Structure 1
Protein backbone atom coordinates (compact mmCIF):
# COMPACT_ATOMS: atom_id res chain seq x y z
CA UNK A 1 0.00 0.00 0.00
CA UNK A 2 2.70 2.52 0.98
CA UNK A 3 4.85 1.42 -1.96
CA UNK A 4 1.95 2.11 -4.33
CA UNK A 5 1.44 5.52 -2.69
CA UNK A 6 5.15 6.35 -3.08
CA UNK A 7 5.10 5.12 -6.69
CA UNK A 8 2.11 7.40 -7.37
CA UNK A 9 3.95 10.40 -5.84
CA UNK A 10 7.02 9.72 -8.02
CA UNK A 11 4.84 9.35 -11.15
CA UNK A 12 2.89 12.52 -10.43
CA UNK A 13 5.88 14.74 -9.55
CA UNK A 14 8.15 13.43 -12.31
CA UNK A 15 5.26 13.24 -14.81
CA UNK A 16 6.14 9.71 -15.90
CA UNK A 17 4.04 6.52 -16.06
CA UNK A 18 4.03 4.42 -12.89
CA UNK A 19 5.24 1.50 -15.03
CA UNK A 20 8.56 3.35 -15.45
CA UNK A 21 9.19 3.37 -11.69
CA UNK A 22 11.27 0.60 -10.13
CA UNK A 23 13.80 0.38 -7.31
CA UNK A 24 16.49 0.96 -9.96
CA UNK A 25 15.08 4.33 -11.05
CA UNK A 26 17.81 6.79 -10.04
CA UNK A 27 18.26 10.52 -9.71
CA UNK A 28 19.37 12.08 -13.03
CA UNK A 29 18.83 8.78 -14.91
CA UNK A 30 15.88 10.43 -16.65
CA UNK A 31 15.61 14.11 -17.66
CA UNK A 32 12.48 14.54 -15.49
CA UNK A 33 14.37 13.78 -12.25
CA UNK A 34 16.65 16.78 -11.87
CA UNK A 35 17.52 18.90 -8.84
CA UNK A 36 14.34 20.97 -9.06
CA UNK A 37 12.00 18.00 -9.36
CA UNK A 38 14.00 16.28 -6.59
CA UNK A 39 12.97 19.03 -4.15
CA UNK A 40 9.36 18.83 -5.37
CA UNK A 41 9.53 15.06 -4.82
CA UNK A 42 10.79 15.51 -1.25
CA UNK A 43 8.00 18.01 -0.52
CA UNK A 44 5.37 15.66 -1.97
CA UNK A 45 6.76 12.70 0.02
CA UNK A 46 6.77 14.76 3.21
CA UNK A 47 3.14 15.75 2.58
CA UNK A 48 2.03 12.29 1.52
CA UNK A 49 3.62 10.44 4.45
CA UNK A 50 3.50 13.22 7.07
CA UNK A 51 7.28 13.21 7.50
CA UNK A 52 9.99 15.85 7.67
CA UNK A 53 12.94 14.33 5.83
CA UNK A 54 16.25 15.80 7.04
CA UNK A 55 18.90 17.28 4.75
CA UNK A 56 21.25 14.29 4.82
CA UNK A 57 18.41 12.00 3.75
CA UNK A 58 17.30 14.45 1.04
CA UNK A 59 20.82 14.28 -0.42
CA UNK A 60 20.98 10.49 0.08
CA UNK A 61 17.67 9.81 -1.71
CA UNK A 62 19.26 8.75 -4.99
CA UNK A 63 16.73 6.16 -6.20
CA UNK A 64 13.19 4.89 -5.72
CA UNK A 65 14.59 1.97 -3.72
CA UNK A 66 16.60 4.34 -1.52
CA UNK A 67 13.47 6.45 -0.95
CA UNK A 68 11.78 3.38 0.57
CA UNK A 69 14.82 2.73 2.80
CA UNK A 70 14.86 6.33 3.99
CA UNK A 71 11.11 6.43 4.67
CA UNK A 72 11.46 3.23 6.70
CA UNK A 73 13.72 5.19 9.09
CA UNK A 74 10.78 7.55 9.63
CA UNK A 75 8.43 4.69 10.54
CA UNK A 76 6.84 4.13 7.12
CA UNK A 77 6.42 0.40 6.47
CA UNK A 78 7.00 -1.21 3.08
Structure 2
Protein backbone atom coordinates (compact mmCIF):
# COMPACT_ATOMS: atom_id res chain seq x y z
CA UNK A 1 0.00 0.00 0.00
CA UNK A 2 1.47 3.36 -1.00
CA UNK A 3 1.14 6.77 0.64
CA UNK A 4 -1.77 7.92 -1.53
CA UNK A 5 -3.81 4.79 -0.76
CA UNK A 6 -3.16 5.16 2.98
CA UNK A 7 -3.99 8.88 2.81
CA UNK A 8 -7.25 8.10 1.01
CA UNK A 9 -8.28 5.60 3.71
CA UNK A 10 -7.27 8.06 6.43
CA UNK A 11 -9.32 10.78 4.78
CA UNK A 12 -12.41 8.56 4.94
CA UNK A 13 -11.74 7.70 8.59
CA UNK A 14 -11.30 11.39 9.51
CA UNK A 15 -14.52 12.35 7.69
CA UNK A 16 -16.48 9.65 9.50
CA UNK A 17 -14.99 10.12 12.97
CA UNK A 18 -15.05 13.92 12.92
CA UNK A 19 -18.38 14.06 11.06
CA UNK A 20 -17.00 16.54 8.52
CA UNK A 21 -17.51 15.87 4.82
CA UNK A 22 -15.08 18.37 3.35
CA UNK A 23 -11.83 17.16 4.93
CA UNK A 24 -9.04 16.78 2.40
CA UNK A 25 -5.98 15.42 4.18
CA UNK A 26 -2.44 15.94 2.93
CA UNK A 27 0.75 14.68 4.48
CA UNK A 28 1.26 18.16 5.94
CA UNK A 29 -2.15 18.31 7.66
CA UNK A 30 -2.03 18.83 11.44
CA UNK A 31 -4.68 18.97 14.16
CA UNK A 32 -4.46 22.76 13.97
CA UNK A 33 -5.78 22.60 10.38
CA UNK A 34 -9.04 20.83 11.34
CA UNK A 35 -11.23 22.53 13.92
CA UNK A 36 -12.96 19.31 15.03
CA UNK A 37 -9.65 17.47 15.65
CA UNK A 38 -9.15 17.94 19.39
CA UNK A 39 -7.58 15.73 22.06
CA UNK A 40 -10.71 13.61 22.54
CA UNK A 41 -11.31 13.08 18.83
CA UNK A 42 -7.59 12.29 18.43
CA UNK A 43 -8.08 9.16 20.56
CA UNK A 44 -11.14 8.18 18.52
CA UNK A 45 -9.17 8.68 15.31
CA UNK A 46 -6.29 6.50 16.54
CA UNK A 47 -8.67 3.70 17.52
CA UNK A 48 -10.43 3.89 14.15
CA UNK A 49 -7.11 3.87 12.27
CA UNK A 50 -5.89 0.87 14.27
CA UNK A 51 -9.12 -1.03 13.55
CA UNK A 52 -9.12 -0.19 9.84
CA UNK A 53 -5.49 -1.13 9.25
CA UNK A 54 -5.51 -3.94 11.86
CA UNK A 55 -2.43 -2.55 13.61
CA UNK A 56 -1.46 -1.15 17.02
CA UNK A 57 0.55 1.97 17.72
CA UNK A 58 2.73 2.52 20.76
CA UNK A 59 2.11 5.67 22.78
CA UNK A 60 5.59 6.93 21.83
CA UNK A 61 4.74 6.53 18.12
CA UNK A 62 1.53 8.49 18.54
CA UNK A 63 3.25 11.25 20.51
CA UNK A 64 6.00 11.59 17.91
CA UNK A 65 3.61 12.51 15.07
CA UNK A 66 3.67 16.14 13.99
CA UNK A 67 1.43 15.72 10.95
CA UNK A 68 -0.61 13.18 8.97
CA UNK A 69 2.45 12.27 6.87
CA UNK A 70 4.21 10.92 9.96
CA UNK A 71 1.11 8.87 10.77
CA UNK A 72 1.20 7.48 7.21
CA UNK A 73 4.86 6.48 7.66
CA UNK A 74 4.02 4.66 10.92
CA UNK A 75 1.22 2.77 9.15
CA UNK A 76 3.57 1.79 6.30
CA UNK A 77 6.10 0.40 8.81
CA UNK A 78 3.46 -1.89 10.32
Superposition TM-score tier, normalisation by shorter sequence: 0.7 to 0.9
Q: Which residue of 2 aligns with 1:69?
A: 73
- Partner residue, 1:39: 43
Aligned to 1:27: 31
| CA RMSD in angstroms, aligned pairs only | 1.7
**SS at 2:63 equivalent:** helix
Tell me the equivalent position of 1:15: 19
Unaligned runs of 5+ in 1: none
Equivalent residue number for residue 2 of structure 1: 6
Distance in 1 (alpha carbons) for counterparts of 2:22 and 2:62: 22
Stretches of 4+ aligned residues off by more than 3 angstroms: none
The size of the alignment, in residue pairs, is 74
5+ residue gaps, structure 2:
none
Single out whichever of 39-48 and 52-61 deviates more from structure 2.
52-61
TM-score with structure 1 setting the length: 0.78
TM score, norm. by length of structure 2: 0.78
Alpha-carbon distance in 1 for matches of 2:12, 2:52: 10
Q: Per the alignment, do residues 56 and 23 of structure 1 end up closer, same or farther by CA in structure 2, a change over 3 Å counting?
A: same
Q: How far does residue 18 in structure 1 lie from its aligned partner after superposition?
A: 5.0
